């Protein structure tokens, strides 16, 4: 349990929301080219892009809780 409140959590939430918004805008922008590909290729690309944002999330949440990038 933390002894003192920290600003990492509220700042981390704001950064996470901003990062996800930018990521979503980037995917939406790229969709003009992705949409020209065959449907099966589009499906694979959107599945990968839909999961890719989760990769850095674990370390980011660890930082929000502990202030370190590794557990």
> What does the block give as tokens for 50?
């839909």
Q: Give Cα 22 distance to the centre of its chain.
A: 9
pLDDT at 8 over 70: yes
pLDDT at 4 over 90: no
As a whole number, mean pLDDT of residues 8-21 equals 94
pLDDT at 2 over 90: no
Please write the tens of the pLDDT for every residue from 23-65. 999 999 999 999 999 999 999 999 999 999 898 898 888 888 8
Predicted model pTM: 0.78
Q: So what's the pLDDT on residue 71?
A: 64
Tokens 């020209």 belong to 36
């Amino acid at each position: 349990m933390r002894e003192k409140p920290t600003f990492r959590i509220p700042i981390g939430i704001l950064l996470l929301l901003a990062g996800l918004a930018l990521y979503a805008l980037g995917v939406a922008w790229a969709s003009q080219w992705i949409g020209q590909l065959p449907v099966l290729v589009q499906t694979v690309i959107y599945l990968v892009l839909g999961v890719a944002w989760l990769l850095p999330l674990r370390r980011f949440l660890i930082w929000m809780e502990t202030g370190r990038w590794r557990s």
